[in-house]
Amino acid sequence: VSTELSQGCARGCDLCSEFNGCLRCSPKLFILLERNDIRQIGICLPSCPLGYFGLRNTDMNKCIKCKIENCESCFSRNFCTKCKEGLYLHKGRCYVTCPEGYTAANGTMECSSPAQCEMSEWGPWGPCSKKRKLCGFKKGNEDRTRRILQAPSGDVSLCPATTEVRRCTVQKSQCPEGKRKKKEEQGKQDNGNRNRKDAKDTKSGTKKRKNKQRGATVPATAASPAQ
């Protein structure tokens, strides 16, 4: 039968037994249970060893074994901080290779964020256009661009888009060539109207002259009285 003791325990242990070692550690320490054949021996540590993470509790702080596959050191039950040799760490898990779109950062065994491209700032939006025309329409598109300053391993295909397009609306306006054409057509129409007016005036003047000539008469000579 195991006898619980509060005296004669190892340093940092508040309660222990001859059979199971420490049963309760001092408040700032973690208890680690090590299996020895069929027995579990409790020991008190200032921090948990490799392969365990510390779980603080109001009752007692405990060292919990990492249960993540191929994990050597963990931060919590579900988050690995170091994988076994030859494996890559990515978001708290261990992989044989980095997932697609990720790469090992600076020669380490940790997968970096997607593509880690260094991009320039977006440039200004370009003019609203449609089929390479800047006028004569209501709805069109405008775009803006940015540059790739640095790509991981020189692979620009891993970087985000360098062009952005959005719909736009232009103020109603005619193209310059349309205005010029309309002005020329208006000029031709004005000339035609002027020519027709001149022809009409000429015809009217001729008619008036003919009527004037037709109305003129020679005065009759009075007959002399008979002698």
Question: What is the pLDDT averaged over residues 32-52?
Answer: 87
Question: What is the pLDDT averaged over residues 130-158?
Answer: 81
Residues 53, 15 share a domain: yes
Number of domains in the chain: 3
From the number of C-beta atoms within 10 Å of its C-beta (0-12, 13-18, 19+), residue 14 rates as: middle
Q: Indicate which CATH number applies to the domain containing 123.
A: 2.20.100
Q: Is residue 212 part of a domain?
A: no
* Chain centroid, CA 185 distance in Å: 49
Q: Is residue 148 part of a domain?
A: yes
Residues found in the chain = 227
Residues 51, 24 share a domain: yes
Q: Compute the distance between CA of residue 68 and CA of residue 98 in angstroms, rounded to an integer.
A: 17
Q: Is residue 159 part of a domain?
A: yes
Question: Which residue type, as a one-letter code, is found at position 219?
Answer: P
- pLDDT greater at residue 80 or residue 190: 80
Q: Compute the distance between CA of residue 184 and CA of residue 176 in angstroms, rounded to an integer.
A: 12
Q: Compute the distance between CA of residue 25 and CA of residue 41 in angstroms, rounded to an integer.
A: 13
pLDDT tens-place string over residues 195-210 = 666 666 666 665 555 5
Domain boundary among 149, 169, 189: 169
Question: What is the pLDDT averaged over residues 160-164?
Answer: 89
pLDDT at 89: 93
pTM: 0.44
Residues of the domain holding 157: 118-169
Q: What percent of the chain has pLDDT over 90?
A: 22
Residues 38, 4 share a domain: yes
Q: Is residue 193 part of a domain?
A: no
From the number of C-beta atoms within 10 Å of its C-beta (0-12, 13-18, 19+), residue 12 rates as: middle
Residues 2, 60 share a domain: yes
Q: Compute the distance between CA of residue 226 and CA of residue 209 in angstroms, rounded to an integer.
A: 42
**Is 1's pLDDT higher than 60?**
no
